[in-house]
Amino acid sequence: MQTPNLVDSSTNTSSKTQFYNWENYHCAYEIHQPINSTASDIPILLIHPIGVGLSRQFWQRFCREWYKTNHDNIIYNPDLLGCGESDTPRKAYKPLDWAKQLQYFLQTVVKKPVIVISQGALSPVAIELFKLEPNLINGLIFSGPTAWSVTTKNAPQWQQKLLWSVFSSPIGNWFFRYARTRKFLSSFSKNQLFASSEAVDEEWLDTLSADAENMGGRYAVFSFLARFWQRDYSGDIAAIHKPTLIVLGETASAISKEGKTETPDERMADYLTCLPQGRGVKIKGRNVLPYESTVDFVGAISSFVKELSG
């Protein structure tokens, strides 16, 4: 099913949905570029978060603001396998799977170095991608990365397998049907994602609801809930030898119990201590900064992107 593009046609900078084949899967993406201008700066590759109804559509508000503020970077906005308009096979997805998909995308579609922007707990995908293809990444931006105590902890394999078996059963099917209701999406967004309940607007809920109609998207969500993304990434983070920007919300919080006692300042300090070329900035907002605090997020990353583009 195609999720409706909610960008105003008068400011629409995106191409129609395009596709490429990777390991016999049909994978979707779109390209954004400034209207009536030739893009000259380094391209940006976006990595959307995983969740009920989440796909590349998460980035539409960011893309509008990026070009509204006179930036001219081409933006590549793909749907990860299992999400959006990409194929949604029944499988347990791990960050390395998505990183390999994006590696192929960089090699065959983009064909030049990029700045990678990842959202939330998908920072491990960006980390794995850097390990696979460092020469095609000039810098990274982690928007609201996972709590440090979670990022540096190995999830027990028995627990991952148990959770996956539960979610793969009819119980998981029932749960996804409930989780895609507007009531649940609104409640979860207000309680876990946004700093202000008023920011959970109709555009956000409409986009999630439309994408969540595709039941095939449940396997990516279940993979996330089963914690297949979690292992100790401290060594890999310490090996990122390219400029890396951490953007955290002033009221950033953790969904998992391990990170609930961690303050945004503590999280920032831990990441910057580990990163060889790390820098950080805090802005207003909580956990979905490119959407809830779009203007501030664009402002926070602009100089970093410009510096790498020069």
The per-residue pLDDT for 260 is 62
| Amino acid letter for position 199 | A
Choose among 260, 258, 266: nearest CA to 282.
266
18-22, 254-258, 265-269, 284-288: range with lowest mean pLDDT = 254-258
In this predicted structure, the answer to whether residue 18 has a pLDDT above a threshold of 70 is yes
Q: Confidence class of residue 38 from pLDDT cuts 50, 70 and 90?
A: low
Task: For residue range 79-108, list pLDDT tens digits in order.
Answer: 999 999 999 999 999 999 999 999 999 999
To which residue do tokens 């895609």 refer?
Answer: 180
* pLDDT tens profile 256-265: 666 567 899 9
Q: For the chain, which domains are there?
A: 14-309 (3.40.50.1820)
For 157-185, the pLDDT digits (tens) are 999 999 999 999 999 999 999 999 999 99
- What rounded mean pLDDT belongs to the chain? 92
Q: How confident is the model at residue 36 (pLDDT cuts 50, 70, 90)?
A: low
Sequence-distant contacts of 259-268: CB under 8 A, at least 24 apart: 259/146, 259/147, 259/148, 259/149, 259/150, 262/147, 262/148, 262/149, 266/148, 267/145, 267/147, 267/148
**Mean pLDDT lowest among 3-7, 142-146, 260-264, 302-306:** 3-7
pTM: 0.94
